[in-house]
A = this chain, B = another copy of it.
């Protein structure tokens, strides 16, 4: 039994957990930069809760609310500049995966004078500022991972940076912030979390401990995806989604992602598909591929999801995800496959794909043009 495990983030969950644990923020310093998107954190109550907590603790703050979906380097460098100017002691990221990942990069850039290439090469010398993660979708897992995924136009794809100092010091999981999320985002992000757990389970770096967390997460997400009513998602279900998504994040913090995420990145970069949806579109065919070598492990995934076979898994994904009418041209697909094969985590897949396998997964996912 050989394994390692690391999950240093202090996790608080439940309604009003930010308010109830505001003292934890005070331990991080006197000045905070809040990093968030333009609107959702203002509408769902999360930003107001954070401001109330910061005021209660006498912490000065500024707000950088310029994070776009799939944040690019320009954004995080602007945020880093803001953090420097105010001499922030810590960063609070609020939002889905985009603001949280941007906030991590801002925490690095706040204390390091580096160029974009150095950020992407994980080449910084001063530890990132402490970072607090407040997810308002249930999918990213970023609140408990050491990763930040940034969109890099020079590379024409998304690139993941990693470092122990990118683990959040604190995370607050309050399902109330998701009560008004529409079904499409709810389903896309839940499928993102599901693919985290599945990719962590069907992974050469999987361990006895990550397996336990992955199967628990897959089980909860499978059940939720099968039983949630799009227009009537309860707070309890929102909390379960957040919890299962967090477990999935802890899983990939140990294992990394692999085939599905590698294939999802170009679909998001070039075709503007939401991250979770992009993953979900290739998930079933990726499972078909891995099953060839690992029927037992894939069988455990199917069983944990509450399904009888992979066809049922595919039907469930088709049912919960929006229908996308997309065919890649041959040239596009060739370009995508080239980028996918360069993804370093691919070697950790329980079955390592070759180019022809990626082509086949695109084909089985109805994305190949002939």
Does A1 lie within 8 Å of B240, measured CB to CB?
yes
Assembly stoichiometry (copies):
2
Residue A324 interfacial (CB < 8 Å): no
Which of A5-13, A40-48, A93-101, A283-291 forms part of the interface with chain B? A5-13
Residue A17 interfacial (CB < 8 Å): yes
Contacts A1-B239, A2-B14, A6-B10 given; indicate if A212 touches B216 (C-beta within 8 A): yes
Please give the distance in Å from A167's CB to the nearest CB on chain B.
9
Residue A87 interfacial (CB < 8 Å): no
Residue A236 interfacial (CB < 8 Å): yes
Query: 1/0 per residue A241-282: CB within 8 Å of B?
Result: 001000000000000000000000000000000000000000
Q: What CA separation (Å) do A240 and B8 show in the bound complex?
A: 23
Does B3 lie within 8 Å of A14, measured CB to CB?
yes
Chain B residue contacts of A216, Cβ below 8 A: 212
Residue A335 interfacial (CB < 8 Å): no
Please give the distance in Å from A41's CB to the nearest CB on chain B.
22
Chain B residue contacts of A7, Cβ below 8 A: 7-8
Q: What CA separation (Å) do A66 and B11 show in the bound complex?
A: 38
Q: What CA separation (Å) do A7 and B254 show in the bound complex?
A: 14
- Using CB atoms, name the residue of chain B closest to A16: B2
Please give the distance in Å from A61's CB to the nearest CB on chain B.
24
* Residues of A77-98 contacting chain B, CB below 8 A: none
Q: What CA separation (Å) do A238 and B6 show in the bound complex?
A: 22
- Using CB atoms, name the residue of chain B closest to A10: B6
* Residues of A167-211 contacting chain B, CB below 8 A: 175, 208-209
Residue A4 interfacial (CB < 8 Å): yes
Query: 1/0 per residue A21-55: CB within 8 Å of B?
Result: 10000000000000000000000000000000000
- Using CB atoms, name the residue of chain B closest to A220: B208
Q: What are 12 inter-chain pairs, A to B, with CB distance below 8 A?
A: A1-B14, A1-B240, A1-B243, A3-B13, A3-B14, A4-B12, A4-B21, A5-B10, A6-B10, A7-B7, A8-B10, A209-B243
Binding site for B on A (CB under 8 A): 1-8, 10-15, 17, 21, 175, 208-209, 212, 216, 236, 239-240, 243
